[in-house]
Amino acid sequence: MIRHIVFFSARDKENVQRIADELGALGRIPHSEYFEVALNRRVDKLSGEVDVVVYGEFRDEAALEAYKAHPIYEETIAKVRPLREMRIAADFLSEAGGPK
């Protein structure tokens, strides 16, 4: 299982919910086993840069690549890129089961 996590910060804090809403469209892409978008709860006192988190689980590298090649992915990037300041992505292989 590949876990895909992406962190976003908004250029303008008034756009945080809009960014999350736009990123929610990625959930319509059929290649993930699990997908969600959430606002950062900001409970960590040492880090406040992240506004929105995208989390997805993919069966394998091919599924993740198919997700990134989907037209909805490109459309969403085009809508979100002008609104975001920072984007950090991490993909890692996990042997653990999915969210409970």
CB 53 within 8 A of CB 40: yes
Instruction: State the CB neighbour count (10 A cutoff) for residue 10.
Output: 19
CA distance 36 to 50: 16
Can you give the pLDDT of all 100 residues of the chain as single tens digits? 999 999 999 999 999 999 999 999 999 999 999 999 999 998 988 888 999 999 999 999 999 999 999 999 999 999 999 999 999 999 999 987 655 5
CA distance 39 to 42: 9
Going from the N-terminus, what domains does the chain have, and what CATH number goes with each?
A: 2-42+50-93 (3.30.70.100)
Amino acid at position 73, single letter? Y
